[in-house]
Structure 1
């Protein structure tokens, strides 16, 4: 056992050195702290090895032919130690019988210096033998009641054989009491927290006691103590009070972690709460509470409960330490070893549930020692470098935890002849460890809050500065916008003046052309009257001249109307009139412009439909559409179709041509001011016709749409309310 533990400790040192190896590439200041930490850790482990290897576990002191008897004082109060009065037989066969041990007692039993067994993880049974008698100076010769306490209470099997010494004493004279975690609670027990047996000392003679102890999946430790019934109740009360305070403290620590998790949603707090809970459950079983409350009938249930809690505590504990020390960011290799430790904890749970815990349990002690040793080294480095309260609390926490684990493992593994209460060292130090770690986390949370406040203050200051800057920029931009507004208003005024000049110019042109054209037209009519009726050639020339005059007049009037609508005046003069009037007016005007164009009409019965419209404006929109349709149709035979349809409370005027059409992705572009199709660059135009149509239709509260026909050409629709 000593050699095995020494090998595991040296292996832990090697793993620690390998895990901290990334520090060797750091500057000398970091390597110095590494060397210091390794020196301290190696010194502590070396001291532990020295203590483990130098002290004896059980010392044989030779044989004796008779059993030494412990004399109980007449006024016995409190407790008496059996140290120096106990013979032991260790590492006997697991199923050896009491009869064989009794018949070979002089060969198998040897005096020991202590009062119990500490064999570690062995698949064997241990035996104790001692005798008790009343003091020869007792005033009254009567029986005396005493209590025999056997700890720890999680020992699986404890068989107590009791008989009054007499000549020819045989195994059949002994009374057997079955105790231990696998046996039901004795009716004579004071409670379920200890293995307590009430014995009656005879008035004369000795009471001989043989005790057999065995464990299945845990270390074999057993110590015997004599108590007086009068003082035992007070001891149990005090012990239960301590246990209650311990469990209550652990519950409070769990609640604190949950509060931390509510304030700062980090997985560390939930994981630490689980670690505290599993540690509390392990000691809940180790102290006998699970046996008393959950498994009063005995059996393997208590072992499964305690074993699973221990391994789950190891799994959550290694992950907690890795998160507390931020090993993933600082020492990735060491973090991976801790993750393997967590996996080992889950494997341990599986082995406990399948009944193979004995072969894996000895690994837990060195594994926990490695984890705490490396964590202690990291906290030493952090404290040496940072020197603040959080680092100091962590260092104190892991130092206490390391000491508690070292003492507990030394007692549980049977390396040192330590009393049974030493096995509670980890329970006591774990409570302080959790308190100190919680304190360090509270400091970290407070520092994080302070950092957050400072960040908020800086953010508010930055926001105030940004707001002041924004106000200055807004003021600057406001001045710029006011200047731009004045410039735009001046430009707009200039444009309006230009449009007025344009309209005035068109009025002048119309007036100046209309008078001479009228004179020319009247003279042509006079010439017509002077021509003979059979002069067909000259009459045809007169007709063409008059037609050219009408066309010129129509062009002037259309452009004058367009200039007026594109200028400052765009309010329609609405009147109720039949739709056919508007269409006829537009068709007459377009025929004056394009005499050879073919216009087909499909009016149905909608020509008499009354609409509210400005006849000049709406007919100008139709003229623009018809002009575009004729211009972009084949030059030899331009053909346009006008159709009227009804759509609920709207009447739809559809103009369809068979020309080049409009690219699909440019349909929205051609209706904007200056927009023209990419396939119309070979024809002259300003791109204002369709935009003017859109404005006119909108002024009449209607809708305009344009699309391509499936068989070629374009379809334009004007929808006006009835």
Structure 2
């Protein structure tokens, strides 16, 4: 289907239709609907069970009344006028001259009562009502019973809608006529009713209740969308709030709520304000429809129509303010009705083509189009402004506002969820960017710290290597002088013999000093040897029992006078294990040296080797001074010596070296006091035994 996208097409269409409507409305005396023929009107009878009667079908149009003729001329039959019976309501079109109507009345009983006459014009300046009594051949008796209309200071208005109310008392005569002299009018179709005070009160009560509820409903909707606008800043909410508010104002003015103001208000000013409020609500509606349908309808020309429509309506509002509101009203409503139907049909077309559109928006647009069209038909005299047409207007308006309220609230909820998701997404992206930035900064800092640590580690390694080389060189250089001194002391002791004396004591002190120096050198060499391999064990497969026996024998040769025993528990003599023999020898040697050092000469030292799976346990037990209980966790620390070992020579490095050997083999060093005295040092390592 071909879609017209050019906005100029729609603008020209609306302007052309508005010109046609203007030409129709401005033709005087055009469109007199429901006109009958003949001079025999239908008499309106008021009986005992009188109910509200409509004037439709009882009206007589008096034509040809000259400007200088009055009610007396009409009643007496003077002049050139003629009477035409109307079968329905009177549609006058746009007129500037006076119009005369007549209704023939008949009382079916002799009880006189007060009756209420209420007429409902679309737009009307003023009406004079005359009561004419006929008494046989006597001259008619003419009584002006009142003037009603918004330009008469003595008019009576019910305060609801456009009802014009006049109360009168029935005359004594059984037959009488009511004459209506209608002044200048604008697009008027007149309908009217006659009823009793009870019927009038019931009607007024229902009208007051309906209009009061309707105004409250519109103001509530306007308030809801004002709140919604400040929460979501949605243009749709703002335009719909303005639309609802101006609609309420447009109802308040005919309902005379301006009388609550503390100052007097000119009726002509209120007429102009009423028309301008109607135009402003249509401008708000046009802006709303443009904003709303841009979300659903992909017709560029139709979406641009609302801007031209707003410009036309604004010009009409200015024209109404300058005094041309009576002629502008029908044209304005016609233009709005055409634009609405264009929107509605395009909405239907795209809905039927399979697009996913809002059903509430579709139905609401159709209802509002019906309401505006009905109002326009009333103004041009095509439809009577009575109960059915007004019900259509009020019901269509209420449903339109309700549907769009629900739709916009749902849309606002969806938009709020989208905004919340968008906000969460922005926060997540911001957090992600911050995290990336922090990660980069931390990575850079870590890289810098890594480089600095590597440099420091390399410097430390070089310093440590240099220190170890220095210690190794110094230690080896000292070994030879120490050996010479020891050999010389041995020669001197043989020369001195077994005799005591000062020389023997001096030799004893020299031997003790040489032994301590040798121990210090040995410890330095051991640390240098372990550090040279970086604390890593250089394992190889060996026969475990054989190697352990060699290690213990080397330690025993250093102390030939001491008793050191070696026992094997749950260990096959041919078992092979993967160990670093040199490291293990250093560790076991240190444990045996400590056990011999801190126990009496006559006390034995027991070395027990056991196996539990792949774990090899080497326990060295002595009967020496032991370690204070609270100091046991500290004895494996470097340079730490027990408080009870101050009188014994040592460096505090022995158990630290053993612990390093244990860690290099994936094991541990355990130290505890023996129950019967002394200390048990247990070296547990992973032996990685061969299967079998």
TM-score (norm 2): 0.56
1:212 is displaced (CA, Å) by 1.9
Residue 241 of structure 1 aligns with which residue? 209
Tell whether the 8 Å contact from 2:116 to 2:168 is kept in structure 1 after alignment: yes
Instruction: Map Cα deviations across residues 617-663 of structure 1 (whole Å, 9 max, x no partner).
Output: xxxxxxxxxxxxxxxxxxxxxxxxxxxxxxxxxxxxxxxxxxxxxxx
Instruction: Map Cα deviations across residues 459-494 of structure 1 (whole Å, 9 max, x no partner).
Output: 566667667767765665454222321466599999
Distance 2:264 2:189 in 1: 22
1:229 is displaced (CA, Å) by 1.4
Residue 452 of structure 1 aligns with which residue? 419
Tell whether the 8 Å contact from 1:58 to 1:113 is kept in structure 2 after alignment: no
Q: CA RMSD in A?
A: 4.2
1:192 is displaced (CA, Å) by 7.2
Residue 428 of structure 1 aligns with which residue? 395
Residue 112 of structure 2 aligns with which residue? 143
Residue 202 of structure 1 aligns with which residue? 171
Residue 380 of structure 1 aligns with which residue? 348
Distance 1:173 1:259 in 2: 60
1:438 aligns with 2:413: no
Distance 1:267 1:368 in 2: 21
1:71 aligns with 2:40: no
1:68 is displaced (CA, Å) by 4.2
Equivalent in 222, 226, 242 of residue 258 of structure 1: 226
Residue 646 of structure 2 aligns with which residue? none
Equivalent in 42, 62, 65 of residue 37 of structure 2: 62
Residue 493 of structure 2 aligns with which residue? none
User: Residues 257 and 100 (structure 1 numbering): CA distance in 2 closer, same or farther, change over 3 Å?
Assistant: farther
Corresponding residue SS for 2:253: helix
User: Residues 379 and 440 (structure 1 numbering): CA distance in 2 closer, same or farther, change over 3 Å?
Assistant: farther
Instruction: Map Cα deviations across residues 121-142 of structure 1 (whole Å, 9 max, x no partner).
Output: 333333220122211xx3xx34
User: Residues 96 and 207 (structure 1 numbering): CA distance in 2 closer, same or farther, change over 3 Å?
Assistant: same
Residue 235 of structure 2 aligns with which residue? 267
Q: How does 1:595-614 map to 2 (within 5 A)?
A: none
User: Residues 346 and 473 (structure 1 numbering): CA distance in 2 closer, same or farther, change over 3 Å?
Assistant: closer
Residue 678 of structure 2 aligns with which residue? none
Distance 1:387 1:331 in 2: 13
Q: How many residues align?
A: 444
Residue 338 of structure 1 aligns with which residue? 306
User: Residues 410 and 342 (structure 1 numbering): CA distance in 2 closer, same or farther, change over 3 Å?
Assistant: same
Equivalent in 242, 245, 254 of residue 277 of structure 1: 245
Equivalent in 214, 219, 222 of residue 183 of structure 2: 214
User: Residues 220 and 490 (structure 1 numbering): CA distance in 2 closer, same or farther, change over 3 Å?
Assistant: same
1:413 is displaced (CA, Å) by 0.6
Instruction: Map Cα deviations across residues 577-603 of structure 1 (whole Å, 9 max, x no partner).
Output: xxxxxxxxxxxxxxxxxxxxxxxxxxx
Distance 1:445 1:282 in 2: 27
Residue 162 of structure 1 aligns with which residue? 131
Q: How does 1:120-519 map to 2 (within 5 A)?
A: 120-135=93-108, 138=109, 141-152=110-121, 155-167=124-136, 173-186=142-155, 194-216=163-185, 218-287=186-255, 289-290=257-258, 299-326=267-294, 330-381=298-349, 383-384=351-352, 391-416=358-383, 419=386, 422-423=389-390, 425-456=392-423, 458=425, 476-486=443-453
Distance 2:68 2:258 in 1: 27
1:111 aligns with 2:78: no
Tell whether the 8 Å contact from 2:129 to 2:180 is kept in structure 1 after alignment: yes
Tell whether the 8 Å contact from 2:275 to 2:329 is kept in structure 1 after alignment: no
User: Residues 122 and 338 (structure 1 numbering): CA distance in 2 closer, same or farther, change over 3 Å?
Assistant: farther
The gaps in structure 2 that reach 5 residues or longer are 18-23, 25-30, 462-692
Residue 649 of structure 2 aligns with which residue? none
Distance 1:268 1:318 in 2: 11
1:207 is displaced (CA, Å) by 2.0
User: Residues 237 and 94 (structure 1 numbering): CA distance in 2 closer, same or farther, change over 3 Å?
Assistant: farther
Tell whether the 8 Å contact from 2:364 to 2:403 is kept in structure 1 after alignment: yes
User: Residues 226 and 183 (structure 1 numbering): CA distance in 2 closer, same or farther, change over 3 Å?
Assistant: same
Tell whether the 8 Å contact from 2:38 to 2:85 is kept in structure 1 after alignment: yes
Distance 2:265 2:439 in 1: 84
Distance 2:348 2:63 in 1: 42
Distance 1:240 1:79 in 2: 18
1:84 aligns with 2:84: no
Corresponding residue SS for 1:202: coil
- The structure with more radius of gyration: 2
1:386 is displaced (CA, Å) by 7.0
Instruction: Map Cα deviations across residues 425-445 of structure 1 (whole Å, 9 max, x no partner).
Output: 434322322221222211211
1:186 is displaced (CA, Å) by 4.3
Tell whether the 8 Å contact from 2:320 to 2:328 is kept in structure 1 after alignment: no
Tell whether the 8 Å contact from 2:74 to 2:81 is kept in structure 1 after alignment: no
The gaps in structure 1 that reach 5 residues or longer are 1-13, 23-37, 43-48, 50-55, 495-722
Instruction: Map Cα deviations across residues 547-578 of structure 1 (whole Å, 9 max, x no partner).
Output: xxxxxxxxxxxxxxxxxxxxxxxxxxxxxxxx
Tell whether the 8 Å contact from 2:330 to 2:379 is kept in structure 1 after alignment: no
Corresponding residue SS for 2:146: strand
Instruction: Map Cα deviations across residues 260-306 of structure 1 (whole Å, 9 max, x no partner).
Output: 11111233322322222222222223445557979988742332122
1:94 is displaced (CA, Å) by 8.1
Choose 358-367 or 231-240, whichever is displaced more.
358-367
Distance 1:295 1:160 in 2: 30
Residue 682 of structure 1 aligns with which residue? none
Distance 1:324 1:120 in 2: 36
1:404 is displaced (CA, Å) by 1.5
